[in-house]
Structure 1
């Protein structure tokens, strides 16, 4: 069952891509800001290692319904229901870039089912004043979804070539008039609805010293808020590459 759309109560749809051996221990992937769960080739190393890789699309991305979440914790409840429908028991979690808060949310929601959490170049705890003070971008907690949808279109999708516009990451991230991006930009700044200190699972976090998208110091502060975090400072590599992600997963 590689790609499916899970139908939940209330007509809510969550798109899922389920790759790798069905008997492998699952790792639930939380994608970045401009991303598609159809880009499963990025996780070929995990599949080759015998892992079942489950990629879930957040609200408004691709075929997932544009559901307004009250906070980041709202994703934990939605993802839990989707995993129940997919008959997934225990799992590991992977949060990439903007997917990090949502991986934490699921770990907080399902402590008995979460074995380990892997965070690669993750969005930090922006609700924390120390982190917010170091954040290099505007933080407008009053911005509405419609305003943020306009911002997302101008920031990420203006001037794309026809070929670029057909890339899965562009198609899925811009779906529903950029709803998924706008929702993330809105709720990442506010109280997440759970306390990072309550996460009991092991967290393995890697962040580059030269990350030009997410300042290294903000990752350090976020790591200090977790009870069981192994923080790995990578010397170079900036924010993301498939090769560096694969190396991180192989090492941990």
Structure 2
């Protein structure tokens, strides 16, 4: 079962986190998607983390879950928070895993604090999401969310509340929206319900934190990807309907140390859930 904790950061903000897996396992800071929360590792399950010898530490990002909002933050602020959390837990070197909207946060750590990292891994990672050639490949609702993130964050808040209200309740309604691999992954007992919990927890304080988090993906990222000198393992499903494969390949050109592993029959969520043994191996090996 997950345990929870809280760290008071240097500027007085609270950062809340949840821990999963083996307490004496290999430490991994897990950066959740957007919008999401520290509950996201429930999609995979404690038994898997224990079996693989991992200690998963999942913090809520600012303004989501129980973590304090941080005005004017960017991706480059995150490595400071990650170090503060690791130090509070007495970690020396640790790994980072960014899933979906947590991807650039893992990249920022790889660029800024490589001396503290054992490994850096991105799964189904989002990059710059407001490009017309990217939006053209997305489902209408996903495309709308990114456009509102850039042009009308208050309306994005209304959309997120509506999405959260229905999340995790009736999977059959998602049949026409999700790629088949993601739909199949959600059919695993308890997983779609866990998705609803993590989504609603993201909006516990309102929508400001989640809207700000999404906003960062529709403006210049501010992370110098070419500064990443350590290995960066990237896992992506070729059927991903949230982050097109072409965007991933184009972005990774800027990161000579990136190693891309693709799965022809996986999508956005299913890559995380179905390929976690591969992901764990990258985390452990570095």
Aligned ranges 1:35-46 → 2 under 5 Å = 35-41=36-42, 42-44=44-46, 45-46=48-49
- Structure 2 residue 279 is the aligned partner of structure 1 residue 249: yes
CA deviation vs aligned residue, 1:43-94 (integer Å, no higher than 9, x gap): 5323322222111111122111122243211222222222222222211111
**SS in structure 1 of the partner of residue 236 of structure 2:** strand
The equivalent position to 1:51 in structure 2, one of 47, 50, 54, is: 54
Partner Cα separation in structure 1 for residue 222 and residue 263 of structure 2: 30
Any unmatched runs of 5+ in structure 2? Answer: 137-142, 171-192
Partner of 1:143: 151
- Asked if the contact 2:236/2:261 (under 8 Å) is kept, the reply is yes
Shift of 1:34: 4.1
The equivalent position to 2:216 in structure 1, one of 177, 180, 187, is: 187
Shift of 1:204: 1.1
Aligned ranges 1:1-252 → 2 under 5 Å = 2-41=3-42, 42-44=44-46, 45-126=48-129, 133-136=133-136, 137=143, 138-139=146-147, 143=151, 145-154=153-162, 156-159=163-166, 167-241=196-270, 243-250=273-280, 252=282
Partner Cα separation in structure 2 for residue 98 and residue 162 of structure 1: 23
How many residues were matched structurally?
248
CA distance 1:10–1:192, change in 2 (3 Å): same
TM-score, scaled relative to structure 2: 0.76
Q: Calculate the aligned-residue CA RMSD, in Å.
A: 2.8
Partner Cα separation in structure 2 for residue 85 and residue 112 of structure 1: 17
CA distance 1:125–1:48, change in 2 (3 Å): same
Shift of 1:15: 0.9
CA deviation vs aligned residue, 1:69-127 (integer Å, no higher than 9, x gap): 43211222222222222222211111111110111122222110112211111102448
- Asked if the contact 1:94/1:118 (under 8 Å) is kept, the reply is yes
Any unmatched runs of 5+ in structure 1? Answer: none
CA distance 1:149–1:68, change in 2 (3 Å): farther
TM-score, scaled relative to structure 1: 0.85
Structure number with higher helix proportion: 2
- Asked if the contact 2:31/2:97 (under 8 Å) is kept, the reply is yes
